[in-house]
Each structure stands twice: as C-alpha cells, then as structure tokens.
Chain A
Amino acid sequence: MSSTVAGHFHDHRQQSRANTLGLWIFLATEVLFFGALFAAYLIYRVLYPQAFETAARETEIAIGTLNTALLLTSSASVAMAVKTARLGQRRATMVLLGVTLALGLGFLAAKGFEYHSDLTKHLWPGSADFPLDPPQTRIFWALYWIMTGIHAVHVTAGLGLWAVILTMIARRSFPLESSDKVEIAGLYWHLVDLVWIFLWPILYLVGRS
C-alpha cells in the first residue's frame, strides 16, 4: 500500500501538508508560466487595440463557449470526486472521475475541430494567404495558437493523470481515504480550468460588440 507515511515524515498530517504546499507552489509557477503570455497579450492589446479586435472576431466563439462550459463542469465533477474520495466512496469517485475524463476528452475533441476549421480559413500566421489585413492581426493569432496550444497540452497532461489515478483506484492500489492523490490532482485540474477562465474572454469575446 504505497500511500502510508513516507520514511522521512513524522506522520500523515505532515506529509499531506507538505504535498499540498508543494503542489500550490507548483501552481504559482504555472501562473507565472502562463502569465508571461498574458503579459505579451496585454502589451500588444494596448498597442494595437483595433487590429486585435478585427483578429478576435475570426475566432470560433461557439466552440470556445462550449469548451468553457465543459471545463467548468469538469471542475465541478472533480470537486465532487475529491469529496467522495475523502469519504472513501470508491465507486462514486470512479464514476465522477470517469465523467471528468469524458468532459476533458470532449474539450480536446472540440479544440481539435476548432483548430481544423481555423486552418482551413488559413488563420495560421505563418501561412502566405493569411486573410486578415493589418499585419498585427498575425501577432494576435500567433498568441492564440501558443496560448491555446500550451493550455491543451496541460489539459492532456491532466487527463493522463486522471486516467492513471482512475486505474489505480480500480486496482485498489492505495487506500482512498488516507491518500491525497485525488485532491492534489484536483488542485492541478482546477488551475487548468482557471487558466481557461481567463483565456476565453481575452481570445474569443474581444471585438464582438
């Protein structure tokens, strides 16, 4: 049973406090990792407001909004899974994690479809026949591809994590109530959702009025 107290910790409370603090510090680094991109977006939005609005009108707002709904719901299902895991309800936790996985895969599928339609509209800044006029729109789209791309990588990593935890719960390889694996993975997933909460308004809702 791998989740008993590790050798160098006195007791379980100290170990889970260490795990939570370690994860929250990692989340701070993730905030700054995406933060550098938001800083670049902020500067260019201040410099070229018109170009960013014309560029943002081309984004697929329907898929973006669907993805927001999917991620918010998956955040809720993860919160429920954390509660049931702490109460030791193995079956409920597995169901809820399954729902989370489904929502996440839905997000990626919608994202893939959106990328496909973006590419057919030549909205790739590197391509010669980029349809939009002022060259600064290419900067918006460069930021769009980098931001949503890196976010998608984080979503995929999160889904991988959930899949591993789900199989471990299924094989009962760790005591559900005394381990904080589900809670730690949950914190990471909520951050991925938090980043999308900010990505959605600045990439999709700009220039709609």
Chain B
Amino acid sequence: MSARPHKAASAAEPREKTLRAWLREFRAELIVWLALMLLAAATFVLAYLPLGPFHPLTSMGIAVAKALVVALFFMHLKRESATIRLAAAAGLVFLGVLFTLTLADYLSRPPGVELDAVRATRAQTPQQP
C-alpha cells in the first residue's frame, strides 16, 4: 500500500484541494474502506437468507475477515516488528483457551448433569439434537 508521496507536502498546501488529488492521495485507505463496507453488506444480506446452522459460521467468518483487514492495513500490523505481532496475537490465543476449555465443560456434560432450564428447553424442542 505505498501511496505516492504528495508533491507539496509542506504544511501550507493549496487551499482548494481537488477531489481527484485527494482520492489519489488516500487511494489505499479508500480501497480498504470499500472492502469493509462490502463485507458488512454481505454479512447483512446473508443474515436474511435461510442458511440454518451455517449462520454463525458465515457471520463470524466475515467478521474475522473484516477484523483482519482492519488490523493488517489500518493498524499497519503488516509492517510492525515480530514482538508487536506477538502481542497482538497473545490476547486472541488466551481468549481461545478460555473459549475452548469452558466449552469443553459445557459440551461434555452427560444428559443427567446439564442445567435444569437447558433440559426443559431441549424437552420442548424435540428436533433440536
């Protein structure tokens, strides 16, 4: 994303900046912005389609894509040093640990042990596994 350096980069650039010059200067950011808006629109549309069990998969997939776009381009993670990338990843890794081990408890509860409210709701909706 190397934007061409603007000619008169001094503080007193000409007052009325032409739109085309402005677009050319921020070409990179505008492309990224457009990508984000498209992804947002996509996830919005997909939410209304009858995807059934695939809903969480698609909505989370697109959200992760948007997050990566913002992190890599807007937050310049692409050119940061390894330590900073490690710091960025550390939060997510240990969040993953919290998710997986907590889910391990809830998903592996045998039929007799789960919450009473859960047993009640599962009794009412037989087609739910």
Contacts and interface: CB of A to CB of B under 8 A. Distances in A.
Whether A and B touch directly in their complex, counting CB atoms under 8 A apart, is answered as yes
Interface of A: 17, 20-21, 24-25, 27-32, 35-36, 38-39, 42-43, 45-51, 65, 68-69, 72-73, 75-76, 78-80, 83, 87-92, 134-136, 186-187, 190, 193-194, 197-198, 200-202, 205-206, 208-209
**Which secondary structure dominates where chain A touches chain B?**
helix
B6 A72 contact: no
Please name the 8 residue pairs, one residue from A and one from B, whose CB atoms are nearest each other, closest first.
A28-B91, A31-B91, A205-B47, A76-B33, A201-B59, A35-B95, A79-B74, A24-B87
Interface in B1-54: 3, 5-6, 9-11, 13, 17, 26, 29-30, 32-33, 36-37, 40, 43-44, 47-52
Given A20-B84, A42-B103, A46-B103, A90 B37 contact: no
Nearest to A46: B106
B62 A201 contact: yes
Contacts of B113: none
Contacts of B56: 45
A89 B5 CA distance: 12
B3 A83 contact: yes
